[in-house]
Chains A and B, each alone.
Chain A
Amino acid sequence: MKSNAYLRFLHLSQAIQDLPGLPALDATEERILNMCADAWHQGGRVTVTGLAKIVPDVSERTSYRRIKDLHSKDMIALKSDPDDKRVKYIEPTSLCEKYFESLDRFFVDASQAKS
C-alpha cells in the first residue's frame, strides 16, 4: 500500500500525545485524584468501591471507569486486601507523587510571584 500523508499525520499526532511527561487528566479524574490525596494526607486508605460511590455528581459506573483510566495512566496503583481479596485499595504511584509535587511547586511559585 502506498504511504498516506493523512495516516502519517494521525499516527504522528498520537505519538506526540504519547510523548513522555505527566499524563493529561480530565476534570473527573482530577477530582477523584484530589479526593484520594485528601484521604492519603489524613492517613486513611481508600477503597475502589468506597470511592466510586462518593464522587459527587458522577455515577458509580463513570467513577469506576475513571479509576481504571487513572490506573492505566499509572497515576494510581491497586492493591488487594490480604484478608479479603475482593477489596482493592487505591495507592499513589511515584508519578502521582510527582504530579502533586509539581502542583505544590506551582502554588508556591505563584504565591511568591504575587507577594
Chain B
Amino acid sequence: MRAYMQEKNGAWNQWSEIFSTVKVIFLVAVVWIFLYYLNQSIGFFYLNDYVSWIFFPATVRLLSVLLFGGPGVAGLFLGCLVTTIPLAETKVALLMIPAISSISPYIAVWVCLKLMRTGRNLQNLTGAQLLIMAFATASLSSLAHSIYFYYNGEPVFLWRMLIGDFIGSLFILYMAKALLNRYSRTRRKLVHPCQKGSS
C-alpha cells in the first residue's frame, strides 16, 4: 500500500512539474505576443515587419531566459512562431526566425552568466551586469537575424535592430525599477509605524 502511494505521489509530482513547465511556456508566449502587438500598434516605432526603433519584446527574451531557462526559450519560440506566421513567406523562414529569436538570447545569457559568475540562482547579479546582459542579448539577436536576412536577400538593419532591442529592454527594465521602488516605498511606510511602536 505504502509503495503504491509513493508511486502515485511520484507520478503526480511528475505531472505537476510538466504542467508547471507548460504554464511557463504559455505565459512567456502570451507576454511576447502581447508586447509584440503593442509595439506594432505604436506606429511611431515601426521601421519594417521585423525591425522597430524601440522593440519592447526584447526584454521578454532576456527576462524569460534568466528566470526560466529552457522553458523560457520554448515559450519565446512559441510566441515568436505565432507572431511570425503572418509575416513569413516560406516554411524555413517560419521556423528559422523564431529559432534565432529564442536561441540567441539563451546563448548570450549563458555566456554572460558563465563570465560574470552570478551563481545558479542569480544571487550575485547586479544592475550593471543586467545592463550588460541586455546589451549582449540585443547584440547577438540582431546579429543573428541580420546574418539570416542577408543570406536570404532581405534588407539588413543591423544597427537599427540593435538600438531598438537595447532601448526596448532599457525602457521596460527602468519601468520595472520605478515600479519596484514605488512598491518598496509603500512597504516602508506600512512597516514604519509598527517599528516605532515596538521600540
A: residues with CB less than 8 A from B are 1, 3-5, 7-9, 11-21, 24, 26, 59
Contact in complex: B66, A16 (CB < 8 Å): no
Q: How many residues on chain B are close to A (CB under 8 Å)?
A: 29
B: residues with CB less than 8 A from A are 24, 63, 66-69, 120-123, 125-131, 173-174, 176-177, 180-182, 184-185, 188-189, 196
Bound CA–CA A18/B132 (angstroms) = 13
Given contacts A5-B67, A5-B68, A21-B174, contact A16 B120 (CB under 8 A): no
What residues of chain A lie closer than 8 Å to B131, measured between beta carbons? 19-20
25 contacting pairs across A/B (C-beta < 8 A): A3-B120, A5-B24, A5-B67, A5-B68, A7-B122, A11-B121, A12-B122, A15-B127, A15-B130, A16-B130, A16-B173, A16-B176, A17-B127, A17-B177, A17-B180, A18-B127, A18-B130, A19-B127, A19-B130, A19-B173, A19-B174, A20-B128, A24-B182, A24-B185, A26-B188
Contact in complex: B121, A3 (CB < 8 Å): yes
Contact in complex: B63, A15 (CB < 8 Å): no
Closest A residue, CB atoms, query B125: A15
A11 to chain B, nearest CB (A): 4
